[in-house]
Amino acid sequence: MKMQVVFSIGGRLRYVGHLDLMRAMQRALRRSGLPVKYSQGFNPHILLSFAAPLAVGIAGEREVMKVPLEQPVTEAEFLRRLNAVLPEALQCVAARQVDDTHPAPMAALFAAEYRITPLDNQQAFYDAAQAFLKLDSYMATHRTKRGERQIDLRPLVFNLLVKPEGLRAVLSLNQQGTCKPDLLLTALADLMGAPAPDCRIVRTRMLNHLLVPLENA
C-alpha cells in the first residue's frame, strides 16, 4: 500500500534542487516515525516517487508524491506526523491511501498548470500571450545536454488565460513533449519585441491526460 501525498513548497526552498528535496523528505519521514517501507539491501532507503521535478526558482502549490507503507495509517495521522517535522515552507496539504496498482505519479502525468505573474510590462506580456494562442505554429530552440533542436511549441501549450493574479498556463509535461515555463517566456518575449519581464512562477497543479488533477484521479 502507498500514501499519495500532495505537498507545497515555496519561500527560499524553491531554490532547492530536486535531489535535495528528496533527501529532505526521506529524513522527515524517518523522523516522523511513520510506518514507511524501506528498500532491501545494504543501504535501505524509502522508495519515494514524484510526479516531476520542479525547476529551481519555481514554487509548487500541489506537488504529488507517493510514499510506500508497511502498514495502514490514517490520512490525518500521516499529515500530522509528517508536517510536524517539515519546515514551514514545505508542507503536506492532502493525503490519500492507494493500493499498489494505482499508477505512479510520473506515469500518470500529462501536463502541469502554472501561474505566471510578470513584475513589470504586464499588459504587453498578456497581449503577447493572447497573440501566441492565435498562432498555428511557433518554432523554438530547445537546449538539452545532447545539444539544440527545433521544436514546435504551439501544440505543447494547451491553454493561456489571463487572470487577476497572473497568467494561467497549462503546459505539456510528458514523454511526447514538454514545454517548460522558460521556453514559453522566451516565446512571449519574442512576440513582445522586448526582454522577458521578471516573473513569479508557481506550479499550481499536476494533470493527467484528461487534464484532471493527479490528486483526484
**122 and 149 part of one domain:** yes
Same domain? 130 vs 76: no
- Lookup: cell for 133: 494562442
Q: How far, in Å, CA of 68 to CA of 53, rounded?
A: 19
Q: What is the CA radius of gyration of the chain?
A: 19
Same domain? For 176 and 209 the reply is yes
Average pLDDT over residues 189-199: 92
* Spatial contact of 100 and 2, defined as CB atoms under 8 Å apart: yes
**Which tens digit of pLDDT belongs to each residue from 55-112?**
999 999 999 999 999 999 999 999 999 999 999 999 999 999 999 899 999 999 999 9
b/e code 46-71 from CB counts within 10 Å (16+ = b)? bebebbbebeeebbbbbbbbbbbbee
Choose the final residue of a domain: 107, 138, 163: 107
Q: Does 48 share its domain with 35?
A: yes
pLDDT tens readout for residues 130-179: 999 999 999 998 777 777 888 999 999 999 999 989 999 999 999 889 99
117 shares its domain with 140: yes
**pLDDT for 82:** 97
Write down the pLDDT at residue 72: 92
Q: Tell me how far CA of residue 90 lies from CA of 59, 102, 171, in angstroms.
A: 10, 25, 24
Same domain for 163 and 91: no
Helix (H, G, I), strand (E, B) or coil at 133: helix
Residue that is last in its domain, among 90, 107, 124: 107
Q: Determine the structural domain holding residue 103 and report its residue range.
A: 2-107
Instruction: Domain count for the chain, please give it.
Output: 2
Q: What is the CATH number of the domain that holds 23?
A: 3.30.70.580
**Same domain membership, residue 126 and residue 34:** no
Residue 44 has what pLDDT? 84
pLDDT at 37: 93
